[in-house]
Every structure is written in structure tokens, then in C-alpha cells.
């Protein structure tokens, strides 16, 4: 580091006090006349420190870190700093948030060139363009949906039915919003050893069984968003005449079970 840089960097704390005061930073005892350069940042973001680097044609460089201050409750944000420099041309660069462990800045670097004249104050204003971090909009609409309401579950001829006789199951539901309704029907419990048969299409099912006992069903009526379940049972009855070989299965609807 050359002597001039050491000297200038040593002035940093003093010069920092010169923010906004213009060219009052003339160091005492300086043989060659110096000029001053005030660097102001426009559009700076108060969330960051700015590292302002000034580099001369001979490669000499000096840096200041500056924050953004507000000049009054209703005044604009201001960020500026003040350098005392030998006359000449300087490249000036300001970067947001570098070297301070802060998150990646939304503000881009700003660059410019300034000419410093002995005994005068040059003023350079850099524009720090910052991306907006304003909140985006999220419009949430809650549209309540009513699942279908059951109207009827028709069992014909009856909920109590003899073996080998078809029971027609007709499902009917209304949707509160008029959504299209689809149906399903499942046999959820059977009788041990029985051979139940269930077919279903649209909203109509046909059921038959060859052994007495209760058979459980679950029907679903669904709109495009939700389903309404309906559980019910059909009880199948059998008389001794239905099971001549007394094996527990109705002879009429189980051909392999016909008595010899
Ligand atoms: Ca609905
Ligand atoms: Ca039998």
C-alpha cells in the first residue's frame, strides 16, 4: 500500500463525518492541492450498506462503506460519502451489501466517472437500481362445495329377499350446486361360503346371492369434488326347499350345487 493510500484511508473516520457537508475535508499540511469528491447514491435501499470504491487512473483506490440515512421523518433517503483526492479522473463504483454477511442484494451496482479538480468539490450521483421487493398479490377465493345429498336408495322388491332372486338397487342423490353426480356401489361384507353377484351401471345395481344372511353395501354419490357415502344391508333368506341337499347353498342359482 502506498503512502498516499495509507494517509487517505486514515482520514476515513474523519471524512465520514463530512457526509453532506461538501468540501470541508481539506487535510492540513498537504503539499499538493487536493480536491474533494462527494458521491451520492440515488434510489439506494436502506436495507443495505454500500461499498463505494474510487479508483484513480494510476490504480490508486480507496473505499468507504456508507449506509442510507433519512434526513427527516418526511424527507427522502440519502446515502452519500465524501473523498479527498488528488486531482484527476476517477472511476467510482458502489455495490450494495458486499462484505457484510448480508443476504444477496436486490440492488445492482452503480458506476460512474468523476473528475476531481484541486480546491474544488466534484459531486457524482450514482443511481442504485433496486428491484421491487413489494409483496405480490394472492387472491384466494373459497368456493364452498356441498357434496351430494342422498334422496333414495331403492331396493326392489325388498330389503329382505329370498336366495337366487335379483334385488334391484337404485341410487338417487341431488347436488346442492347442481353439480353432475356419479355413483358407485360396492359389496363390503358377505356371508362366508356364499357366491354373491353384483353388477352396477349408472345408478342401478343388481344383486343376488346363494346363501342366507346379511350382505353389506356402501354406495357413493359424488360430485366432482366430494362424495357422500350411504351404507345399507340386504338380508337374504333361504328355506329348506331352496337347499335340497342341505349344503347351505341354494340349489337354484348354483348349477354345480344341484342335488343329484
Ligand atoms: Ca356439489
Ligand atoms: Ca344346496
Question: Total structural domains in the chain?
Answer: 2
Residue 143 Cα, ligand 1 centroid: separation in angstroms?
10
The reply to whether 121 falls in a domain is yes
The reply to whether 198 falls in a domain is yes
Highest mean pLDDT among 63-67, 105-109, 193-197: 193-197
Grid coordinates given for 219: 354406495
Average pLDDT of 129-158?
A: 77
- As a whole number of Å, the end-to-end CA separation of the chain is 116
Q: Is residue 211 domain-shared with residue 122, that is, in the same domain?
A: no
Q: Is residue 46 domain-shared with residue 122, that is, in the same domain?
A: yes
Phi, psi for residue 13 in degrees, rounded to 5: -60, -40
Q: Is residue 163 domain-shared with residue 102, that is, in the same domain?
A: no
The reply to whether 135 falls in a domain is no
Residue 204 Cα, ligand 1 centroid: separation in angstroms?
21
Q: Is residue 201 domain-shared with residue 97, that is, in the same domain?
A: no
Q: What is the pLDDT of residue 40?
A: 78
Average pLDDT of 126-140?
A: 65
Residue 206 Cα, ligand 1 centroid: separation in angstroms?
27
Q: Is residue 163 domain-shared with residue 117, that is, in the same domain?
A: no
**What does pTM read for this prediction?**
0.48
Range of the domain at 202: 149-257
Residue 260 Cα, ligand 2 centroid: separation in angstroms?
10
Residue 96: band (very low, low, confident or very high) from pLDDT cuts 50, 70, 90: confident
Residue 232 Cα, ligand 2 centroid: separation in angstroms?
27
Q: Which residue has the higher pLDDT, 67 or 240?
A: 240
The reply to whether 140 falls in a domain is no
Q: Is residue 104 domain-shared with residue 163, that is, in the same domain?
A: no
Mean pLDDT across the chain, nearest whole number?
Answer: 78
Q: Is residue 80 domain-shared with residue 165, that is, in the same domain?
A: no
Whole-angstrom CA distances from 253 to 161, 190, 245 are: 14, 17, 14
Grid coordinates given for 63: 473505499
The reply to whether 73 falls in a domain is yes
Q: What is the pLDDT of residue 1?
A: 41
Question: How confident is the model over 31-56, as pLDDT tens digits?
Answer: 667 888 888 777 666 767 778 889 99
Q: What is the pLDDT of residue 14?
A: 31
Q: Is residue 10 domain-shared with residue 117, that is, in the same domain?
A: yes
Are 185 and 230 a contacting pair, CB within 8 Å?
A: no
Question: How confident is the model over 173-191, as pLDDT tens digits?
Answer: 999 899 999 999 999 999 9
Q: Which residue has the higher pLDDT, 18 or 42?
A: 42
Indicate the range of 23-27, 159-163, 185-189 predicted with least confidence: 23-27
Q: What is the pLDDT of residue 109?
A: 76
Residue 166: give its domain's CATH number: 2.60.40.1080
Residue 217 Cα, ligand 2 centroid: separation in angstroms?
25
The reply to whether 137 falls in a domain is no
The reply to whether 84 falls in a domain is yes
Q: Is residue 120 domain-shared with residue 197, that is, in the same domain?
A: no
Q: Is residue 156 domain-shared with residue 52, that is, in the same domain?
A: no
Ligand nearest the Cα of residue 221 is 1
- Taking the C-alpha atoms of residue 238 and residue 259, their distance in angstroms, rounded to an integer, is 16
The reply to whether 68 falls in a domain is yes
Q: Is residue 193 domain-shared with residue 244, that is, in the same domain?
A: yes
Indicate the range of 20-24, 72-76, 167-171 predicted with least confidence: 20-24
Residue 192: band (very low, low, confident or very high) from pLDDT cuts 50, 70, 90: very high
Q: Is residue 107 domain-shared with residue 222, that is, in the same domain?
A: no
Q: What is the pLDDT of residue 110?
A: 79
Residue 182 Cα, ligand 1 centroid: separation in angstroms?
11
Amino acid at each position: 500500500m502506498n503512502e498516499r493510500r495509507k494517509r487517505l484511508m486514515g482520514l476515513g473516520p474523519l471524512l465520514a463525518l463530512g457526509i453532506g457537508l461538501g468540501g470541508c475535508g481539506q487535510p492540513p499540511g498537504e503539499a499538493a492541492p487536493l480536491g474533494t469528491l462527494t458521491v451520492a447514491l440515488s434510489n439506494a435501499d436502506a436495507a443495505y450498506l454500500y461499498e463505494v470504491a474510487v479508483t484513480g487512473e494510476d490504480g490508486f483506490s480507496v473505499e468507504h462503506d456508507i449506509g442510507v440515512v433519512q434526513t427527516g421523518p418526511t424527507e427522502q433517503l440519502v446515502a452519500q460519502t465524501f473523498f479527498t483526492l488528488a486531482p484527476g479522473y476517477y472511476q467510482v463504483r458502489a455495490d450494495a451489501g458486499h462484505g457484510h454477511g448480508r443476504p444477496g442484494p436486490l440492488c445492482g451496482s452503480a458506476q460512474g466517472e468523476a473528475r476531481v479538480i484541486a480546491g474544488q468539490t466534484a459531486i457524482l450521483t450514482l443511481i442504485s437500481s433496486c428491484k421491487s421487493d413489494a409483496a405480490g398479490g394472492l387472491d384466494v377465493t373459497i368456493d364452498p362445495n356441498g357434496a351430494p345429498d342422498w334422496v333414495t336408495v331403492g331396493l326392489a322388491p325388498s330389503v329382505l329377499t329370498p336366495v337366487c332372486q335379483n334385488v334391484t338397487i337404485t341410487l338417487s342423490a341431488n347436488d346442492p350446486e347442481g353439480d353432475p353426480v356419479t355413483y358407485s356401489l360396492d359389496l363390503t361384507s358377505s356371508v362366508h361360503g356364499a357366491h354373491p353377484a353384483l353388477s352396477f351401471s349408472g345408478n342401478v345395481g343388481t344383486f343376488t346371492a346363494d346363501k342366507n344372511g346379511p350382505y353389506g353395501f356402501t354406495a357413493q354419490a359424488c360430485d366432482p369434488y366430494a362424495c357422500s357415502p350411504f351404507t345399507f344391508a340386504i338380508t337374504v333368506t333361504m328355506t329348506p326347499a331352496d337347499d335340497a341337499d342341505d349344503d347351505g347353498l341354494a340349489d337354484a342359482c348354483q348349477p354345480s350345487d344341484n342335488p343329484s
